[in-house]
Structure 1
Amino acid sequence: MFGRKKRNQKQYIIISTDDRGVHHHNVTRRRIFALMSLSIIFLAAVFFFSADAMTDILYKLKIEKIKQNYSSLSSTLVDLQNQMVEISSTIETIEDKDKALRTYADMPIVDQDVKKLGIGGVRLANNTNVENEFTDRLKSLEMDVDALTRKVKLELFSYSDIFDKVTDNVDVILSIPSIRPVESGYLNSSFGYRKDPMDGEIRFHYGQDITVNRGETVLAPANGTIKQARYMGGYGKMIKIDHGYGYTTLYAHLSKIYVKKGQKIKRGEKIGLSGNTGRSTAPHLHYEVHQYGTPQNPLDYFFSGNL
């Protein structure tokens, strides 16, 4: 019989030494190839799992960074919203001042519907990756900014209008009563019907009583000419000022009078001291405002701030 002739296989001899002597290890080419293949497979597996683990770590780091950025942005938004509240409050004060100035300048008040034009704003496109809460707050803030911007523009326009009016009517403006006649004290009996403190009868009260200590300085609320400065019955020591343009003011129950009939005075000038003279139960100032002889509510002429 003829047998198949086996192919010659190369062999590698690895020689190693140790305490027990020299050792020979025969390694075939096929075995080396198998070992190399297993090594490649092992290294590939290690690389795959290491890459996956690294990707997971990087992903977690990225998420943590996003969370930190979101937290920082949220904190910034809260600060901005708080600032917007303060700005809004300031604008409300400006609007009150605007109203006072317009009354002071005999101009119509800005219509409330016009002021409400500040409501609105351009909405942000919803294409961000932040959470809905953050997006909503950002939209709300942008709308608030837009509203306040419109309000500021409206007030600037209004102030410009007032400035033009005041410039053309300086004399009139300075003649309109606009400040409290005393800086201290508190409001007591108001303009209108009341129970008379002397006899309990219901009578119309033509002025505003301001409770103050005796000797408080009384100021002129506008430019004018002293029409009366004397003692007059129930009013006690009193002063009456003609401011022109139909306006007159009266101050009663004074303890001292600093001015004389016919004297010219300026707004804020001292004209006397509060007291308890005449028909009075306690120290106070009785203050009246008249326009073309018709009694007015003095509170309508207590404008805030220095006008």
Structure 2
Amino acid sequence: MSKVKYYYDSETLSYKKIERKKRRTFKFILLFLLASVLFSFLLVFIAGHYIESPKEKALKRELANLEFQYELLNKKMSQAETVLANIEERDNTIYRLYFEANPIPEEQRKAGFGGVNRYKKLEGFDNSELIINSNKRIDKLLKRIVVQSKSLDEIAVLAEEKEKLLTSIPAIQPVNNKDLTRMASGYGMRSDPFTKQRKMHWGMDFTAPRGTPVYASGDGVVVRADSNSSGYGKHIRIDHGYGYVSLYAHLYKYNVQKNQKVKRGDLIGFVGSTGRSEAPHLHYEIFKDDQRINPINFYYGSLTPEEFSKLLERASLENQSLD
């Protein structure tokens, strides 16, 4: 029951009842309802933007976990692509070259998929572009692996016919480097130790004390064992046949002589610092058809894939050479 209000009339000296006008009452009710609606709207807006429900929190955690897993997947794919690219390069520049097989063109290795849209079923989602790009990347990686696998099958057949070639190609490190700590400088642009200028370093430098044994990296014939080449000091050159020659420079002394036949792993000399050398080390080069090539690709006979990756990382550093 609503309360009745009165006012005091000073003229009649009596209390009179206050009569509320219906129009004023309607305005008051309308204003109250409008204020309630606005308050409710603000409450819903604030709750929707600033207050998370348990379900929303769970979905956010799941989304963050998916983003983290996607980032890990991307890193793993990048690592796989790097390793595969290294294998492909060795396949084209070493294995296929050894067995006189034509290199596989880059466009063939990395070709996409033509024709029907293979990813149509993945369209229409919030993250369709992300999902489609990931699937394309994985599919291309798998195709490259298939191409490389077929290439290695072909190489395996050729290898059976060319066992002599495999024993002749320089395939081991020329000094004992079990822990891979003797790799001082690799093939490529390096700082010259004497002029401090960047110039091409045509081989690999292995640090070792004077007198450390040096071994033949493949079967062949010693064609030089002298100090008549400028800068190399006492050095040995072995002709392995098939266009391959290995060079061992800055030696302390020889253990072979010209025209001597050697086998892979034979002791041929000892580390020194003769010629243009800053400190005792072995400078090692590989020639193919009179052209210098990177020796890093010729250690498949003595290193595991993990060891090769570690050596590759050391050899790629642009540091100072020792000669």
Q: With the length of structure 2 as denominator, give the TM-score of the two structures.
A: 0.55
Residues 137-188 of structure 1: CA distance to partner in whole angstroms, max 9, x if unpaired?
A: 3333333332222222222122222222333323223323345534424238
Q: Which has the higher contact order (CA 8 A, sep 6+)?
A: 2
* Bigger proportion of residues as strand: 1
C-alpha deviation, 1:80, in angstroms: 4.7
Bigger CA radius of gyration: 1
Q: What is the percentage of aligned positions where both structures have the same residue?
A: 25
Tell me the equivalent position of 2:296.
302
Change over 3 Å in CA distance of 1:153–1:206 after alignment to 2: closer
Q: CA RMSD in A?
A: 4.2
Q: Structure 2 matches for 1:97-136, cutoff 5 A? A: 97-105=87-95, 106=97, 107-118=101-112, 122-125=118-121, 132-133=126-127, 135-136=128-129
Tell me the equivalent position of 1:241.
238
Change over 3 Å in CA distance of 1:196–1:219 after alignment to 2: same
C-alpha deviation, 1:118, in angstroms: 4.1
Tell me the equivalent position of 1:147.
140
1:162 matches 2:155: yes
Tell me the equivalent position of 1:58.
none
C-alpha deviation, 1:306, in angstroms: 1.9
Q: Is the 8 Å Cα contact of residues 207 and 286 (structure 1) preserved in structure 2?
A: no
C-alpha deviation, 1:132, in angstroms: 0.9
C-alpha deviation, 1:269, in angstroms: 4.4
1:212 matches 2:207: yes
Q: Is the 8 Å Cα contact of residues 255 and 274 (structure 1) preserved in structure 2?
A: yes
Tell me the equivalent position of 2:169.
176
C-alpha deviation, 1:279, in angstroms: 5.6
Aligned AA for 1:208? G
Aligned AA for 2:90? A
**Structure 1 runs not aligned, ≥5 long:** 1-62
C-alpha deviation, 1:303, in angstroms: 0.4
Instruction: Provide the C-alpha distance between the structure 2 equivalents of 1:180 and 1:219, rounded to a whole number of angstroms.
Output: 8
Residues 90-142 of structure 1: CA distance to partner in whole angstroms, max 9, x if unpaired?
A: 233123123213322314332221233247872253687xx613x44333333
**Partner of residue 225 from structure 1, selected from 218, 221, 236:** 221
Q: How many aligned residue pairs are there?
A: 232
Q: Is the 8 Å Cα contact of residues 186 and 203 (structure 2) preserved in structure 1?
A: yes
Corresponding residue SS for 1:117: coil
Corresponding residue SS for 2:160: helix
Change over 3 Å in CA distance of 1:186–1:151 after alignment to 2: same
Q: Is the 8 Å Cα contact of residues 237 and 278 (structure 1) preserved in structure 2?
A: yes
Q: Is the 8 Å Cα contact of residues 190 and 207 (structure 1) preserved in structure 2?
A: yes
Corresponding residue SS for 1:150: helix
Q: Is the 8 Å Cα contact of residues 227 and 234 (structure 2) preserved in structure 1?
A: yes
Q: Is the 8 Å Cα contact of residues 240 and 251 (structure 1) preserved in structure 2?
A: yes
C-alpha deviation, 1:275, in angstroms: 0.6
Instruction: Provide the C-alpha distance between the structure 1 equivalents of 2:111 and 2:85, rounded to a whole number of angstroms.
Output: 14
Q: With the length of structure 1 as denominator, give the TM-score of the two structures.
A: 0.58
Q: Is the 8 Å Cα contact of residues 98 and 158 (structure 1) preserved in structure 2?
A: no
Aligned AA for 1:167? E
Aligned AA for 2:271? S
Q: Is the 8 Å Cα contact of residues 104 and 173 (structure 1) preserved in structure 2?
A: no
Tell me the equivalent position of 2:84.
94
Q: Which moved more, 1:230-239 or 1:80-89?
A: 230-239
1:284 matches 2:318: no
1:186 matches 2:184: yes
**Structure 2 runs not aligned, ≥5 long:** 1-52, 302-323
Instruction: Provide the C-alpha distance between the structure 1 equivalents of 2:122 and 2:184, rounded to a whole number of angstroms.
Output: 55
Corresponding residue SS for 2:250: strand
Instruction: Provide the C-alpha distance between the structure 2 equivalents of 1:167 and 1:242, rounded to a whole number of angstroms.
Output: 23
Instruction: Provide the C-alpha distance between the structure 2 equivalents of 1:245 and 1:112, rounded to a whole number of angstroms.
Output: 26
